[in-house]
């Protein structure tokens, strides 16, 4: 039986009418391309199980999360997000996504989502100093919990360039009502510069079987990379090795279009999810989700047919359908021994708006993701 949640709603439920809309610029990691999408709400029923709005902390600083960017945000079934990642604390789901200061939504049931504004109220000073031309529009966040606190990683870059960086902020809690709630800027984790054959964006943290944290990242150029982290600091371990996990050919006009890694341990294997091809083109987006697996977190990762992901391999998980185009930049959320595929796709019924989709992620008897037809 297939279980599908469109922004948390069962597929048999019709989405509500979309109201509108604040323009938001979405990143494209391929050279010199970008699009403008909009961030808005959906008309919702009066009764809602979305989490209540987050209040503005007293004396909020650059490392504290402010309250809503607009009064009384409207709960939505299909929030407009890009590069979503999901966490849960004390009965509340927290959805982080690309946006100014990192966009935050909350929900109590994954059905209705309340936009809570931005994690960082202002630009983080080191980011604009390190990456010339960057703004407070941070890309592709990742949230994880280890060493007794939450770690929020995010990308800083400019369109079509690999002068990029991954930053880190930490917090003891995701609940702004707790007295110990405060995002602390931990600064730079890793950066790439012109001349490097990799791009330091799209971070993802995975823990191996010994609870050792690892950082995977990458977009275009030489593909997906992996480095070990120091669990005490959340930054690169010393000494560190740069492992290569996935790449695509850059011959015959190819541009090595692979990005957005997410590593998940299932059974005795590590599974590397990536996105092939191109995001950020609305209904013309060609993004699609691929996967391979390895016995060790450092690889080598092979697809179902045995093709190495370093040679362009990757078994298809999700591709465009009639309504939902360019599915990609996925995370996997595990709850009660069930896995959920969390990603964005472009809604052909709403002018190609990028929206949150959540689907149950089933596994076949050979231990591979087995998604039903969309």
Contact 327/277 with Cβ under 8 angstroms?
A: no
Determine if the peptide bond prior to 332 is cis (ω within 30°).
no
For strands 324-335 and 315-318, give the pairing: unpaired
Decide if 190 contacts 166 (C-beta within 8 A). yes
* 159 phi/psi in degrees, rounded to 5: -60, 130
Task: State whether the Cα torsion 6-335-267-235 is positive or negative.
Answer: positive
138 in helix, strand or coil? Answer: strand
259 is catalytic: yes
Comparing CA positions, the residue from 124, 195, 135, 184 lying closest to residue 159 is 135
> How far apart, in whole angstroms, are the C-alpha atoms of residue 74 and residue 284?
29
List the catalytic residue out of 259, 303, 339, 347.
259
CA–CA separation, 196 and 41 (whole Å): 40
Pairwise CA distance, residues 365 & 369, whole Å: 10
Question: One of 27, 83, 303, 359 is an active-site residue; which one?
Answer: 83
Q: How far apart are CA 96 and CA 90, in angstroms?
A: 17
What positions carry a catalytic annotation? 83, 259
């Amino acid at each position: 039986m297939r279980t599908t949640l469109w922004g948390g709603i069962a597929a048999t439920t019709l989405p509500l009418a979309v109201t509108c809309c604040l323009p938001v610029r979405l990143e494209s990691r391929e050279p010199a391309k970008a699009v403008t999408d909009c961030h808005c709400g959906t008309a919702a029923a009066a009764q809602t199980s979305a989490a209540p709005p987050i209040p503005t902390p007293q004396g909020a600083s650059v490392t504290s999360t402010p309250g809503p960017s607009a009064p009384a945000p409207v709960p939505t079934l299909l929030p407009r997000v890009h590069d979503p990642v999901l966490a849960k604390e004390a009965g509340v789901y927290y959805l982080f996504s690309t946006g100014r200061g990192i966009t935050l939504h909350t929900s109590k049931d994954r059905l209705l989502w309340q936009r809570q504004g931005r994690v960082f109220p202002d630009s983080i000073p080191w980011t604009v100093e390190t990456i010339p031309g960057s703004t407070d529009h941070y890309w592709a966040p990742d949230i994880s919990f280890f060493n007794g606190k939450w770690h929020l990683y995010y990308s800083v870059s400019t369109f079509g360039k690999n002068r990029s960086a991954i930053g880190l902020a930490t917090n003891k809690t995701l609940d702004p009502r707790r007295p110990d709630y405060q995002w602390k800027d931990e600064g730079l984790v890793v950066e790439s510069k012109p001349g490097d054959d990799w791009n330091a964006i799209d971070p993802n943290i995975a823990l191996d079987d010994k609870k050792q944290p690892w950082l995977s990242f990458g977009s275009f150029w030489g593909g997906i990379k992996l480095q070990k982290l120091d669990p005490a600091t959340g930054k690169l371990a010393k000494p560190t090795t740069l492992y290569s996990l996935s790449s695509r050919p850059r011959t015959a006009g190819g541009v090595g279009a692979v990005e957005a890694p997410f590593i998940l341990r299932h059974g005795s294997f590590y599974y590397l999810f990536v996105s092939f091809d191109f995001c950020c083109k609305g209904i013309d987006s060609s993004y699609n989700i691929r996967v391979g697996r390895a016995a060790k977190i450092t690889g080598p990762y092979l697809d179902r047919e045995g093709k190495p992901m370093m040679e362009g391999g990757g078994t298809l998980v999700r591709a465009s359908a009639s309504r939902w185009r360019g599915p990609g930049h996925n995370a996997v959320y595990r709850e009660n021994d069930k896995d959920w595929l969390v990603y964005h796709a472009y809604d052909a019924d709403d002018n190609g708006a990028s929206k949150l989709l959540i689907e149950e992620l089933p596994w076949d008897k050979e231990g591979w993701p087995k998604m039903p037809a969309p």
